[in-house]
Structure 1
Amino acid sequence: MRRAAVLGALVTILALPASQVSAQTATPGVDHVRPWHVNATIGPSFGTVGTAPTTMASAGYELGNGWSLVGEAGTFRGKPLEFETVIPGATGPAVDDSQRANAFHYNVNVYYQVPERARLLPYLTAGVGAFNTMMVDEPIPGLGSIATLDRVTHAASNLGGGLTYRLSDWLGLTADYRLFVFNTNEAQRVNRFTTGVSILLR
């Protein structure tokens, strides 16, 4: 938890000067792009827990000069043993090939995005939050998936960056890399690289 507290303080320190600059440079009476934005991305992910389908959603507030504060939520799935190798206790004592593990993450991040050029939007990000894994049995015909009670949640910090290619004002292609670090005695890590289609709403 100490690592999460330190990174949380760092995120706050980074956000403060950006918000001050935004307040100083705002010009009354001039129309600006709405500061709120909402994004959603769906596509495959690759990394520590193998290849898995991924969905992500975020809502952010632009602080100015490329800085923004963003709340994120995402999910991806993998084989139980893949999670067990990086998150001890994540899958419970009994695991077999008829089960899968779902992972969820919820975090608050500071983003820095450089000005758009040739429809490309590169960014860097860091933040803190929680990472949850849950065992799910294979679906039973007519009943759907049955979730078990084998779940574990860790505080986790994350660091990464990415690139969005804007196809239109509301649609883009995104590549995002994240390193999740769990605040446990073993300091476990998950690398995740995601590509997909993004819906961009402002």
Structure 2
Amino acid sequence: MSQTESLFVTRLYRARLSELGPAIATSELEASCYSIAEDDEAGQQWCEENAYPGYTSYASLSDLPWRFPVFADLKQALDVHVMAFAADLEFDLGDGRLELEDLWINILPEGGTHASHIHPHSVISGTTYITMPDGASALKLEDPRSARMMAAPPRRKDARAELRTFVYVTPQAGDVLLWESWLRHEVPMNMAEDERVSVSFNYKWV
């Protein structure tokens, strides 16, 4: 009797940030993100020099949990989510642990995009969403086998999610999404008139 099974599964973790760890008000996070963006002249300059849409603290501030109590609370909550995801992935960490490597703010204006990319040298990456106005960009995830599909025909539009070449995930404010850092992803053009605010992060194995 014939049998077909799925192999080499790609996992995506989705939860409410407040489900685990300390409760954090998205309004407080939003206010902190804008306050930091306003004062971060080095980050503003980097964004301008690199034609980066909106604002990111990725190239300028690497110690947000140390500088701001709300980001210390955020790290505490993310640590618990990442532990839960690592358990689901059945990682054997041995005597090591997963540790926050970096964490940065993204403020994406109308018309802004983040090009397709991966996060080398990290194990788990993710984003928690602070504001997601109507029409804000989804997260676009790419099948990691894409470069090896060669002469394969396209998938049907109604194909099951696990068989699609691209999957679009639309988070809500207060959600956290986690994925393995090798998974290619992007943020398509933000069609909302208001800014899309999020905080992204990487965890490494130490």
TM-score by length of 2: 0.25
| Greater relative contact order (CA < 8 Å, ≥ 6 in sequence) | 2
By percentage of residues, which structure has more helix? Answer: 2
- Mark the structure with the bigger radius of gyration: 1
Greater per-residue strand proportion: 1
| TM-score under structure 1 length normalisation | 0.25
